[in-house]
Amino acid sequence: MDNTAVSPVLEMRGISKNFAMTAALTDLSIKLYPGEIHGLVGENGAGKSTLIKIMTGVYAASSGEILIDGEPVTISSTQVAQKLGVAAVYQEPMVFPDLDIAENIFISHHNLGPVMNWRALYKDARNIVEQLGVSLDVERAASGLTLAEQQTVEIARALSLKVRILIMDEPTASLSAHEVRQLIEIANTLRKQGTSILYISHRLEEIFEISDRVTVLRDGKHISTNAIGAVTRGKLIGDMVGRELDEFFGRVPSQATDHTLISVRNLSKADVFTDIHFDVRSGEILCFAGLIGARRTDVALALFGIAPADSGEIVFDGNPVRIGDPQQAMDLGISYVSEDRRKFGLAMAMPIFANISLATLRRYLNRFGLIDRQGENAAAEKYRKQLNIRTPSVEVDVGKLSGGNQQKVMLGKWLNANPRLLIVDEPTRGIDVGAKAEVHQIIRELAKSGVAVIVISSDLPEVLSIADRIVVMREGRQMGIIDGDIATQESVMSLATQFDDSKSAPQPQLV
């Protein structure tokens, strides 16, 4: 296709978007041509979602302009976007189970006058479904549709709006290999009919298979746009992760001892994760890497007894154990620092001291069950110093602290349990660089003191800097374990995005 001969149907010029202090998008420009499938890739947080939200009118850009058919437009709401012919299909389709498929397709806009003309409705619905080249009975209720069929209904809904620019945001993330094929067929059909598709996926194989051109975003900036024939997988991954070297914090030699603290074998939970397989030694830092939806947190929740696994073996300190609730995990010496401070980590409306002692309350009770407040304060003061928690007093409510300091309180809460295995989930998400370095230092010191540490992180430079070994997961499967000394961003991302038919997953290899 000769792009220069055709004018773009949608063009974004110099788009920036700022949230409070941070820039989500910086001076981003992108063109979509009629009848092209344009792949969009980038790591978590690269700005893909923000871009989509600006295109569909959910957010307004802070600066820059959007042109449709060469005319500048203002997309102030999703309704305006729809009128302009822009619509999006998301990973989680929204389908009303009690309505039939035709009603779902025309949920917002079939204009039929005061009396419902069912025949016209079904006829129009059938036309659209045919246009997609799929066979679906539009008169059947939407309940019981597979996820792929629900996706199809969503796409049909978009088409019924006379959409010319269709955004598909990770449409295949939860689909089986067979369903992915169907979806790709539909996308190809639409392309032939002249629709432009912005196709977002973590699966590079899909991008290579269906897109005409591919754009890479990183840290809210446009990195590259290339015809698909002109790039290699390695080049794409390089563009996605290629951070400056100075952002790395230096590696330190492993402190791992010979003592295997926990062995996990064949751990599975139906529809969540399968055959998880690893060891952690005392003093070792084992990182779990992967993209969103890799189910790393679910493995942690199984180890901590919140959502126990269905099958598999856990050997802790030489003894086979079953971990059915958090108290059992804590009795073994397992601490879990949640990724979501607000939801699962801290009681925000309660003071620092009460949060620090929360998981270890028993230790501060006398024989009448009354709390030793001085003991609590002493513990809180200890972690305030050790972790450098910046607060006027330990009586301050945790909700009033900054994110970084909240993170430290949460660490203090779990360090106070004197864990033998510490699991930290996204320990540095949303905190500033200074606090991040401090958290890394704390994790290293813990490992040095003989604690086995599991770190779940989506931040690759962080993983590469602190991990002794890296478990890479993708969609509930363990894709491999890489030694931290030889791992590169490319090798981790390559495993994390590897596409496979779920029936023939590679056997996890142990390092």
Partner 1 sequence: MPSSSKLAGALRSYFGGWELFLLAILIVTIIANAAISPFFLTIGNQINLFQLSIEKIIVALIMTLIIINGEIDLSVASMMGLAAVTFGWGFQQGFPMPIVIALVFLVGLAGGAFNAFWITKVGIPSLVVTLAMLIGFRGLARVLVEDRGITDFPEWFDALGQQPILGPFPLSILIFFALLIILIVVLQFSGFGRKVYVIGNNKDVAAFSGINVGRVKAILFMAAGVISALAGLLYAARVGAVRGDVALGFELDIITMVLLGGVSIFGGSGSLFGALLSILIVLNLRNGMALANVTGHVQTGVIGMLLILSVLLPNIRAYFGNLYAGRKRLKQRDGKRA
* 223: its two tokens: 């990195």
Binder of partner 1 out of 67, 306, 315, 321 (CB under 8 A): 306
Q: Which is nearer to partner 1, 130 or 325 (CB)?
A: 325
Q: Which is nearer to partner 1, 257 or 328 (CB)?
A: 328
Q: Considering CB under 8 A, how many residues would be counted as binding partner 1?
A: 29
* 126: its two tokens: 């059938």
Identify which range of 80-88, 126-134, 145-153, 323-331 contacts partner 1 by CB under 8 A: 323-331
Could you write out the three-class secondary structure of 410-427? HHHHHHCCCCCEEEEECC
Q: Which is nearer to partner 1, 112 or 361 (CB)?
A: 361
Instruction: Decide if 223 contacts 216 (C-beta within 8 A).
Output: yes
* 283: its two tokens: 């003093």
Q: Which is nearer to partner 1, 401 or 470 (CB)?
A: 401
What minimum distance in Å lies between the beta carbon of 312 and partner 1? 22
Question: Residue 346 interacts with partner 1 (CB under 8 A)?
Answer: yes
Identify which range of 149-157, 324-332, 382-390, 484-492 contacts partner 1 by CB under 8 A: 324-332
The torsion region of residue 162 among left (phi > 0), alpha (psi -120 to 50) and beta comes to left
Distance CA 337, CA 409 (A): 11
Binder of partner 1 out of 163, 336, 407, 438 (CB under 8 A): 336
- DSSP state letters, 435-492: HHHHHHHHHHHHHHTT-EEEEE-S-HHHHHHH-SEEEEEETTEEEEEEETTT--HHHH
Angle of helix 373-386 relative to helix 403-415, nearest 10 degrees, comes to 120
Binder of partner 1 out of 327, 402, 449, 509 (CB under 8 A): 327
Question: Residue 348 interacts with partner 1 (CB under 8 A)?
Answer: yes
Question: Residue 354 interacts with partner 1 (CB under 8 A)?
Answer: yes
Q: Which is nearer to partner 1, 359 or 472 (CB)?
A: 359
Q: Which H helix or E strand runs over 30?
A: strand 22-32
Question: Residue 316 interacts with partner 1 (CB under 8 A)?
Answer: no
Question: Residue 396 interacts with partner 1 (CB under 8 A)?
Answer: no
The runs of H, that is alpha helices, within 267-360 are 296-303, 326-332, 352-356
Beta bridge partners of 470: 287, 482
Beta bridge partners of 15: 28
Distance CA 436, CA 287 (A): 16
Binder of partner 1 out of 15, 66, 190, 358 (CB under 8 A): 358
How far, in whole angstroms, is CA 406 from its chain's centroid?
A: 22
Question: Residue 344 interacts with partner 1 (CB under 8 A)?
Answer: yes
What minimum distance in Å lies between the beta carbon of 252 and partner 1? 30
Identify which range of 80-88, 157-165, 261-269, 357-365 contacts partner 1 by CB under 8 A: 357-365
What minimum distance in Å lies between the beta carbon of 267 and partner 1? 20
Q: Which is nearer to partner 1, 370 or 486 (CB)?
A: 370
Distance CA 290, CA 299 (A): 13
The contact mask relative to partner 1 for 363-382 (x = CB under 8 A, - = no) is: -xx--xxxx-----------
Question: Residue 361 interacts with partner 1 (CB under 8 A)?
Answer: yes
Question: Footprint of partner 1 on this chain (CB under 8 A)?
Answer: 304, 306, 325-327, 329-330, 336, 338, 343-350, 354, 358-359, 361-362, 364-365, 368-371, 413
